[in-house]
A and B are shown apart, each in its own frame.
Chain A
C-alpha cells in the first residue's frame, strides 16, 4: 500500500482502492479532485498575472504600480475583484439577453478547458488525449465565438465594430499559428501533449525549428490580443471594444479570460517548443517538472508584458497585411521545407533511434537548421519585395504634388489668357 500511495498527485485512485474504496468511486473522486484543481488554478493565477502586468507596466513607465494592499500590492486584485462583485450588473436595453449572458461564461470556458491537456509534470495531466494539439486548436477557437456573441448581443455600435475587427484578427492569425505547431507534430509524429514532451527530452524543438517557434510566438501574441496586436482593446478609437456594455463580474470574467488566455498560449509554447516539464531530474521527481514548466512559461510571459508597455499599436490594415502577405506564406513554405528536410534526413538514416538521447538528435537537428535557413531566406525575399513596393509608392506620392502644381499653373495660365 505504501508503494501505491507514494505519489499522491498521480496515483490517488489506486491508492484509495487499496485502502478499501470501490474502484469506480475512487476513480471518480480522483478525477473530481483533479478537475477542481485544474479549474481553480487558472482563476487564481489570473489574479497574479494581472498584478504582474500592472507592476511591469508601472516599472517601464517609471512608476511604482500597486503597492498599498498587502505586501508589494499583491492583494490589490482581490480588492479589485471585491469591488467588481459589488458593482451593479446591467443588461443594456435591446440586448439579446441569452446570448449576452452566455458570452462571458463561454469565454472563460474556452481557456479553462485547454488546461485539461497541459502536461504539468511527467505524470500529471488532466487527460492525455491522442489528439491533444487538435483539442487545443479547437477549444481556443471557441473564445472567438464568445467575443462575437458579446459584441453582437450588446446592441452597441462600438461593441459590434470592435468584435468584427477582433474576429477578423483572431481567425486570420489562427492559420499561421496552426501551421507553425504542425512542425513539432511532424518531428514528434504524435499529437499527444505528453508524447510531445517526451520527444523533447533529447532536444527541444526550439533548436530544431526556430522559425516555427517565432511564427508561433508572434501569432500567439495576436491570437491572445497582446500588444502590438491589441486591437481588442483599442480604447482610443473604440472605447473598449466588444466588452463595453459589460459590468460587474461579467466584465471581470472577460478580463480574467484575456489574462489566462495569454498565459495558456505561453504554456502551449512551452509544451511545443521548450520541452514542457523537461529539465534535470524532472522524470525522477515529478514536482520539479511542475516548477520547470511554470518557470519556462513565466520567462516567456514577461517579454510580452514589456512589449505591451513599449510598442505602439499597429493599424488593422497593417495587421491583416502582415498576416496574409507575410506570416501565412512563410508558414506554408516552412511546413513544406521542414517536411522535405525530414524526408532527406530519413533517407540519409539520420533519424534518431532514441529521441530522448541528446547526441543522436544532433545530425537531424543540423539538417533541419539548414532547412530553417532556407525558410529565413524566403521570408527575407518576401520582406524585400514589399519594402521596395512601399518605397515606390511613397516616392510616387511625393511626385504627385509637383504634378498638381503644374496643372494649377496651366489652369492659371488659361484663366489669365481669358
Chain B
C-alpha cells in the first residue's frame, strides 16, 4: 500500500463526519421555531443589558501559558520520533536527548523562580 492510500479511509471519514455534523447542527433550524427578536438575540449577561463589547483585553498569564505550551510542544515533537527509533540507537541518543531536555528544564525552573507560574 502506498503511504497515501493508507490515509484513504481517513479522507472518507473526514467527509462523512463533516456531513453528519453539519446535518445535525442545522437540524434544529429545520424543525424548531425561528422568530428572533432583539431581546432574544442579545448576548446573555445575567439578565442585564450587555455593557460594552465582549472582545476586551485578557490577562497576560494566558499568554505566558501559551508560550510555555509552545516550547514544550516542540520538545514533544522532537521526542516522538526519538522514542520510536530509541532502541536501535546507542547511548548517544539518550545523552543527546538528555542535554536537550536539560536546556528546557532550566527554562522551566527559571520561569518557576521568576514567578511566571503563580496565579495570585
Contact = CB atoms under 8 A, between A and B. Distances in A.
A43 B20 CA distance: 10
B83 to A, nearest CB: 4
A127 B13 CA distance: 10
Given A171-B65, A339-B97, A252 B24 contact: yes
Interface in A102-149: 104-105, 108-109, 112-113, 116, 126-130, 133-134, 137
Contacts of A133: 80
B36 A340 contact: no
A36 interface: yes
A160 B57 CA distance: 11
Given A127-B6, A168-B62, A250-B25, A191 B84 contact: yes
A155 interface: yes
A320 B118 CA distance: 8
Contacts of B42: 92-93
Nearest to B116: A324
A315 to B, nearest CB: 8
Interface stretch (A267-275, A304-312, A327-335): A327-335
A179 B88 CA distance: 20
A31 to B, nearest CB: 5
A280 to B, nearest CB: 29
Contact of A182 (B8, B80, B87, B119): B80
18 contacts: A39-B17, A84-B28, A89-B26, A89-B34, A116-B10, A134-B80, A154-B43, A157-B54, A164-B58, A167-B62, A168-B61, A191-B84, A248-B29, A250-B28, A317-B120, A321-B119, A335-B79, A342-B86
B8 A245 contact: no
B114 interface: no
Interface string A1-39: 000000000000000000000000000000110111011
Contacts of B29: 89, 248
A59 interface: no
B117 A158 contact: no
A1 B16 CA distance: 31
Contacts, number: 221
A31 B8 contact: yes
B31 A329 contact: no
B98 to A, nearest CB: 6
A104 B66 CA distance: 23
A101 interface: yes
A175 B43 contact: no
Contact of B10 (A127, A248, A325): A127
Interface in A210-249: 239, 244-245, 247-249
Nearest to A129: B6
B94 A321 contact: no
B2 interface: no
Interface in B26-85: 26-29, 31-36, 38, 40-46, 50, 53-56, 58-59, 61-62, 65-66, 68-69, 72-73, 76, 79-80, 83-85
A286 to B, nearest CB: 18
Contacts of B43: 92-94, 154-157, 245
A402 interface: no
B86 A339 contact: yes
A252 B28 CA distance: 10
B41 A248 contact: no
Nearest to B13: A35
A253 to B, nearest CB: 6
A172 interface: yes
A92 B54 CA distance: 12
A159 B68 CA distance: 24
Contacts of A105: 18, 21-22, 25
A32 B54 contact: no
Nearest to B85: A189
A244 B44 contact: yes
A132 to B, nearest CB: 11
Contacts of B68: 172, 324
A90 B36 contact: yes
Contacts of B18: 105, 109
A126 B83 contact: no
Contacts of B117: 320-321, 324-325
A305 to B, nearest CB: 25
